[in-house]
Amino acid sequence: MKNKLILEYVGDYPSGESPDPSNTGIISLEFALNHHGGYSFDMELPDGTFIPVSLEEFRGKNPKTTFIVLGVELIDDGPEDRARWEASVVAKRGPFRKTPLR
């Protein structure tokens, strides 16, 4: 399984509100910095591995009004690769829940 970092600049919005509140993938730079502890960090993936991330290109921008998309795209080499990855996630994190907890 290969990992591709998704880091996109959405824009600056003086209101401090997301340009598309229904899109949960859009976050403020402030949220990213607070959640991850700074401009450079290692983001943990579901299988327990880490991917290095740098937000340095946004340094100097207002964290409250700057919005970005930050995520990881998982690229598998076929069904067997995907199955191996899912098995490693289950081994480290437990089974996937298909129904909500009550």
Q: What's the pLDDT tens digit per position in 19-53?
A: 999 998 999 999 999 999 999 999 888 777 888 99
pTM: 0.74
Strand partners, 41: 53
Asked whether the predicted pLDDT for residue 100 surpasses 80, the reply is no
Distance separating alpha carbons of residues 30 and 88, to the nearest angstrom: 32
Asked whether the predicted pLDDT for residue 102 surpasses 60, the reply is no
